[in-house]
Structure 1
Amino acid sequence: MTPTPNLFEDLPLASIEEDICVLFERPGVMIERIVSTGQASPPGFWYDQNWTEWVVLLSGAARLRFEDETEDRLFAPGDHILIAPRRRHRVEWTQQDPPTLWLAVHIREEEAPPA
């Protein structure tokens, strides 16, 4: 999908899959708009990324679960979090209507040059 100039325009209708649109990408950084309409991580699945991710919820609602925490986190518009590399997490629930709209910034750290 081609990015629109407004994050809240051209939201897709509900579907089985989340809609992920790359808004910006350069070496070491990628920014995505993610539209969720009731999707959740499959049972037993954990994201285990080797990069840093900053996520902000722009609309809708969601519950995230972190393996190192005992309870889910409820996210409302404006809530954001910085997820460290290798911090296992999953999406437990997303609001379908109105759609849940995320902005995600993926930051890949460059390896330190040899000394």
Structure 2
Amino acid sequence: MHIHNLFAHMEAHTGQEQLDTLLSRPGLKIERIVSTGQASPPGFWYEQEQGEWLVLLAGEAKLVFEDEASPRDLLPGDFVDIPPKCRHRVEWTDPEVATVWLAVYYE
């Protein structure tokens, strides 16, 4: 058994989003995502087969769902459970401060 830290080994502003799988088991995956100004490309929507429980640990972001008129503003501590096949996109992440997400994907 090892102890790890969610805020360790975050890459400095590389221009790329950093994705790290923290745990993977059948029907379950936990991932840390570090964004530094990244957003979904125009017209792109996530539409995953599995559910996703998402919590914002640091930074700020805007998340939009296809069936909603405006994006949701996310601050540290905010979380959302996204059902399978729910179309959503990241509209904005803070370019000045690392936005750290914890995503739990489940069957």
TM-score (norm 2): 0.94
Larger Rg, first or second structure (1 or 2): 1
The 5-angstrom pairing of residues 1-115 of structure 1 reads 5-108=4-107
* Secondary structure at 2:44 match in 1: coil
Identity of aligned residues (%): 53
CA shift, 1:17, in A, is 1.9
* Secondary structure at 2:5 match in 1: coil
* Inter-partner Cα distance in structure 2 for 1:5 and 1:98: 22
Q: How many corresponding residue pairs? A: 105
* Secondary structure at 2:105 match in 1: strand
Detail structure 1 runs of 4+ shifted over 4 Å in the superposition.
none
TM-score (norm 1): 0.88
CA shift, 1:54, in A, is 0.2
* Inter-partner Cα distance in structure 2 for 1:60 and 1:37: 9
Q: Which amino acid aligns with 1:20?
A: L
CA shift, 1:9, in A, is 1.7
Of the structure 1 ranges 41-50 and 89-98, higher mean CA displacement relative to structure 2 is found in 89-98
Q: Which amino acid aligns with 1:83?
A: I
CA shift, 1:16, in A, is 2.5
